Amino acid sequence: MTQSNAIATTPKPPYYAVIFTSLRTEGDNGYAATADRMVEIAQTMPGFLGVESARDGLGITVCYWDSLAAIAAWKAQAEHQEAQRRGKTEWYASYRTRIAKVERDDNTHA
């Protein structure tokens, strides 16, 4: 299984990044289990390249995809749609989703 708390091994650019930044509401309310499930499903989707995630107060999840079509398909996935709905109404006090084209991958040190 892909680990979201490791540095993602992505291919040579170009590829796409979805940068999702969020602040949570109080309490879990089923959030953690759904977050794990979303990573599980995302990695079965065509065009998935990797995911990186961290939270301390602010949460940042960066998910990598090979095309905008792959991102659109993931956004429309049924369980993910339901998670987005619950995110909006229950889990997030605020959030922002940015879609970016990775043009360079510099200074890798591993």
Specify burial of residue 37 (Cβ count, 10 A radius: 0-12, 13-18, 19+).
middle
Is 102 a binder of its own copies (CB under 8 A)? yes
Is 69 a binder of its own copies (CB under 8 A)? no
Q: Tell me if residue 66 falls in helix, strand or coil.
A: coil
Choosing from 34, 52, 80, 83, the residue that interacts with its own copies (CB under 8 A) is: 52
Is 103 a binder of its own copies (CB under 8 A)? yes
Choosing from 2, 25, 31, 59, the residue that interacts with its own copies (CB under 8 A) is: 59
Q: Closest separation between CB of residue 27 and its own copies, Å? A: 18
Interface size with its own copies, residues (CB under 8 A): 42
Structural contact between residues 22 and 90, judged by C-beta atoms closer than 8 angstroms: no
Distance CA 94, CA 55 (A): 14
Nearer to its own copies, 3 or 40 (CB): 3
Is 27 a binder of its own copies (CB under 8 A)? no
What is the token pair recorded at 7? Answer: 């540095």
Is 41 a binder of its own copies (CB under 8 A)? no
Structural contact between residues 17 and 60, judged by C-beta atoms closer than 8 angstroms: no
What is the token pair recorded at 85? Answer: 């709905």
